[in-house]
């Protein structure tokens, strides 16, 4: 049975597994996975960036994925990014952002949207302000590392887009996050 699978893969031109670097190529094979379906419709530059962001994020807790509208999404959890009710970049996040800035500078054609989020604790106005401050602190850190301000956009969404249940401490912790979207100019749709 395994021989049949390899034979079919060879006949279909699928000579590599996801993440395999083809000989003579610097980019991973464009096989779609469940979390990154459609990766094969990306340009080589976007695939290269995705792989670079995945490597830069290893072991940090940051989640790298592809959005339905062909952007790279970098989900940065609060435990590595900011202290509770603060917008100063924490040391672990600073190291990660330094690596992200190097990738962004190597691919100057992309546009970056940084979106801050909070949990539902506190007032709506306070959460909106904190989420904006966190997004702007992230932007400022990237600018200080040489990423052009003209490529960066920030948004604060407060507690309006939870990814977990705000009634538990664990859920609230997951909702306190920063999300970074990286897009080619043609696919950018205002940080969605």
Q: Which residue has the higher pLDDT, 43 or 4?
A: 43
- With respect to residue 54, please indicate whether it lies within any of the assigned structural domains: yes
Contact indicator for 160, 175 with CB cutoff of 8 Å: no
Whole-number Å distance between alpha carbons of 37 and 66: 8
Quote the domain boundaries for residue 49: 43-183
Question: Is pTM beyond 0.85 here?
Answer: no
Whole-number Å distance between alpha carbons of 21 and 67: 23
Q: What is the pLDDT of residues 21-66, one digit of tens each?
A: 323 333 333 333 334 445 456 789 999 999 999 999 999 999 999 9
- With respect to residue 156, please indicate whether it lies within any of the assigned structural domains: yes
CATH for 120: 3.30.1330.60
Contact indicator for 157, 116 with CB cutoff of 8 Å: yes
- With respect to residue 26, please indicate whether it lies within any of the assigned structural domains: no
- With respect to residue 125, please indicate whether it lies within any of the assigned structural domains: yes
- With respect to residue 30, please indicate whether it lies within any of the assigned structural domains: no
Number of domains observed in the structure of the chain: 1
> What are 183's strand-pairing partners?
111
Q: What angle do CA 93, 95, 101 make, to 5 degrees?
A: 95
Q: Is the pLDDT of residue 83 over 90?
A: no
- With respect to residue 72, please indicate whether it lies within any of the assigned structural domains: yes
Q: Is the pLDDT of residue 117 over 60?
A: yes
- Average pLDDT of the chain, as a whole number: 80
- With respect to residue 11, please indicate whether it lies within any of the assigned structural domains: no
């Amino acid at each position: 049975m395994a021989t049949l699978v390899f034979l079919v893969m060879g006949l279909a031109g699928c000579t590599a597994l996801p993440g395999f670097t083809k000989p003579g190529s610097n980019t991973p094979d464009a096989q779609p996975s469940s979390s990154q379906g459609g990766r094969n419709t990306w340009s080589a530059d976007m695939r290269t960036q995705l792989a670079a962001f995945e490597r830069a994020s290893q072991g940090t807790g940051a989640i790298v994925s592809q959005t339905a509208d062909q952007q790279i999404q970098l989900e940065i959890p609060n435990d590595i990014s900011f202290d509770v009710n603060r917008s100063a970049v924490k040391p672990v996040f600073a190291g990660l952002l330094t690596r992200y800035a190097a990738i962004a500078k190597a691919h100057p054609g992309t546009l970056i949207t940084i979106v801050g989020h909070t949990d539902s604790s506190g007032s709506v106005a306070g959460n909106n302000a904190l989420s904006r401050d966190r997004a702007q602190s992230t932007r400022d850190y990237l600018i200080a590392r040489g990423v052009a301000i003209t490529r960066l956009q920030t948004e604060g969404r407060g507690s309006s887009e939870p990814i977990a249940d705000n009634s538990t401490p664990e859920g609230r912790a997951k909702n306190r996050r920063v999300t970074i979207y990286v897009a080619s100019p043609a696919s950018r749709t205002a940080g969605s």
